[in-house]
Structure 1
């Protein structure tokens, strides 16, 4: 199933939870958008819509590193450093100018994004943010429709939703996370004619495709 369908299904799930819990319109809008976001989360294991939206832009990172490299080269060439310090600065600056464009790939940016979310979670002392950072980082290493499309992934994100609910103090967040995530798995199963492949819900214990 495509990203738009997963997003719409997640939004409808979030809206349904909002109606069930009878929250105000601001919370309803938040639940709806959160549901849409979570509905796309299992596809972080591919270069999908959500992966492109949340990961840092490779071009911007390369540009920033290039500017830093130029600074090292210019300051080392002009400044009153020793002979070896000057060459160290020039070599470091040259490396920052040349190497990032060769070694930085967009999928690696997803790993870096997960790491940054993890750092932010330490600053805010947030368990759910730490779990999200770990999920993003791990998902970038996985093949498509593997662990993120299993009951294990659903349980993980449901627990993440539980901690989000406890920290933000808004009832229903866990149900939005669990329901929207589950909607993605249901829509990717082979019972829909559009899907050529199903999902291996019982990974890593079984590779049976449903």
Structure 2
């Protein structure tokens, strides 16, 4: 399903939680925003717009690596001699060869590792747990673990620590229900959604 629809559904869950507990407009807006984010999180397992939001563009990295490779080769050819020249040329060629290997998945994985490191440095549990989620999302296929009950439960743990950190009533449920709205919207029970999700991974591969 389109990301805009997931965002709208997430926003709706946030507003519903806020209205249920009688939140003020500012807090309602916060819960709505939390619902939007949570409603988009499962699609971090794709090399799409959401992944681009939290990681460097793989095309940018590819261009940078190619440029360094060309410069290294040119410097070796024009500025070095003998063994050093061949080493420099080999390095330049190596960089040109590996440049296409820098995919969005790799950048997402690197971002996840960086978030983990930041969370550990800041001693913020929800941050390093989020980093684990991001890194894991880079390693799994689309509509697999991030679209399962296992993914929902792991995100619920993250939501618990976010709620502990910011202590806003309803925040936990806005996040969890926003995430759950994404899974429901991607199920086969929704008209026109033939693909479905493997809700009970790793215990079942059945599409729901």
Give your verdict on TM over 0.5. Answer: yes
Equivalent position of 1:159 in the other structure: 157
Question: What is the aligned partner in structure 2 of residue 179 from structure 1?
Answer: 177
**In terms of mean alpha carbon deviation, does 114-123 or 151-160 score higher?**
114-123
Matches within 5 A, 1:109-148: 109-148=107-146
- Structure 1 residues 45 and 70, CA, compared in 2 at 3 Å: closer, same or farther? same
Rounded to whole Å, the distance in 1 between the matches of 2:8 and 2:83 is 57
> Which runs of 5 or more residues in structure 2 are unaligned?
none
Distance change in 2, residues 1:47/1:62 (3 Å): closer
Give the TM-score normalised by the residue count of structure 2. 0.83
- In the other structure, the counterpart of 1:46 is 46
After the TM superposition, which residues 1-210 of structure 1 pair with which residues of structure 2 at under 5 Å, given as runs? 1-62=1-62, 90=88, 94=92, 98-99=96-97, 101-210=99-208
- Summarize the Cα distance change of 1:149–1:94 in structure 2 as closer, same or farther, 3 Å threshold: same
SS at match of 2:139: coil
Any conservation in 1 of the 2:51–2:104 contact (CA below 8 Å)?
A: no
| Count of residues in correspondence between the two structures | 208
1:73–1:89 Cα contact (<8 Å) kept: no
CA contact (8 A) 2:7 2:37 kept: yes
Are the aligned partners of 2:69 and 2:96 in contact in 1 as well (CA < 8 Å)?
no
Q: Residues 87 and 198 (structure 1 numbering): CA distance in 2 closer, same or farther, change over 3 Å? A: same
**Which ranges in structure 1 are unaligned for 5 or more consecutive residues?**
78-82
Q: RMSD over aligned Cα, in angstroms?
A: 2.9
CA distance in 2, matches of 1:151, 1:130: 21
Q: Deviations over 1:101-156 (max 9, x none)?
A: 23211221111111111121122211111111111111112122211111111111
Q: In the superposition, relative to structure 1, how do residues 67 and 47 fare at CA in structure 2: closer, same or farther (>3 Å)?
A: closer
